[in-house]
Amino acid sequence: MQIVMSHRIELKPTKIQEALFGQCVGASRLAYNWALAEWQRQFAAGEKPHEGELRRQFNAIKPVQCSPRRRRSPSR
């Protein structure tokens, strides 16, 4: 029998840190959703999707598709 132990740590971020966490989560979701859609598109087209090639494709479009949006101040 294997016992798995873990620790739960509560974070108490400042307003600025909360905004940064939100940006990180948003960027992760964007990358995941783009890769999933592209994988499904390639698969449906009869191609054989490859994880490394998807990374290269995403890195190529990142400057265009992921341009920095207007940043809001967390104090607003």
Residues in contact with 21: Cβ distance below 8 Å, sequence separation at least 6, in sequence order: 13
Task: Please report the pLDDT score of residue 62 as a whole number.
Answer: 82
Task: Please report the pLDDT score of residue 61 as a whole number.
Answer: 87
Per-residue pLDDT 10s for the chain (76 aa) are 889 899 999 999 999 999 999 999 998 999 999 999 999 999 999 999 999 999 999 999 887 766 665 445 455 4
Q: Cα–Cα distances in Å, from 46 out to 40, 43, 49, 51, 52?
A: 10, 5, 9, 16, 18
pTM for this predicted structure: 0.66
Residues in contact with 54: Cβ distance below 8 Å, sequence separation at least 6, in sequence order: 35, 38, 39
Task: Please report the pLDDT score of residue 76 as a whole number.
Answer: 47
